[in-house]
Amino acid sequence: NFSGNFVLWLGQTKLPGNRERVISSANLQQVDRSLLNSRFTIDRDMGIQLRHHFNLTDTFLVKEIFSMAQGEGRNITKGNLGGHQYTTRVELFPFGDFASKGDYKGSDLKFEQKPKLSLGFAYDFNNNASKTRSNQGSYMTNDVGYFSTNISTLFMDAMFKYKGFSLMAEYADRKADDVFAKNADGTLTGDVVQVGNGLNLQSGYLLSKTVEVSARYTNISLDKVITGKGAENQYTLGLSKYISGHSLKVQTDLSYTDIGFKTNQLLYRIQVDIHF
pLDDT(85) > 90: yes
pLDDT(83) > 90: no
Task: List alpha helices for 162-230, DSSP H.
Answer: 224-227
* Residue 148: predicted pLDDT: 97
Taking 3-state DSSP, the helix, strand and coil percentages for the chain, each rounded to the nearest 5, stand at 10, 60, 35
Mean pLDDT, to the nearest integer, of 111-140?
98
Domain boundaries, the chain: 6-226
Mean pLDDT, to the nearest integer, of 218-228?
96
* Residue 76: predicted pLDDT: 86
Question: Three-state secondary structure along 237-256?
Answer: EEEEEEEECECEEEEEEEEE
The answer to whether residues 45 and 74 touch, using CB atoms and an 8 Å cutoff, is yes
Mean pLDDT, to the nearest integer, of 128-133?
97
Whole-number Å distance between alpha carbons of 231 and 233: 7
Residue in 17, 74, 13 with CA at minimum distance from that of residue 42: 17
Whole-number Å distance between alpha carbons of 35 and 21: 11
E-assigned strand segments in 74-148: 85-93, 116-129, 131-133, 136-139, 141-142, 145-146
Whole-number Å distance between alpha carbons of 130 and 144: 13
* Residue 230: predicted pLDDT: 87
The answer to whether residues 72 and 93 touch, using CB atoms and an 8 Å cutoff, is no
Instruction: Find the largest Cα–Cα distance for the chain.
Output: 64
Measuring CA to CA, how many Å separate 244 from each of 22, 102, 273, 276? 22, 16, 10, 11
Mean pLDDT, to the nearest integer, of 60-75?
96
The answer to whether residues 200 and 210 touch, using CB atoms and an 8 Å cutoff, is no
Q: In this structure, what is the dihedral angle of CA atoms 144, 42, 75, 51, given to the nearest 10 degrees? A: 130
Q: How confident is the model at residue 78 (pLDDT cuts 50, 70, 90)?
A: confident
Length of the chain counted residue by residue: 276
pLDDT(79) > 80: no
Phi, psi of 164 (to 5 degrees): 90, -10
* Residue 268: predicted pLDDT: 98
Measured from the Cβ of residue 214, the count of other Cβ atoms closer than 10 Å reads: 21
* Residue 3: predicted pLDDT: 77
Whole-number Å distance between alpha carbons of 175 and 152: 5
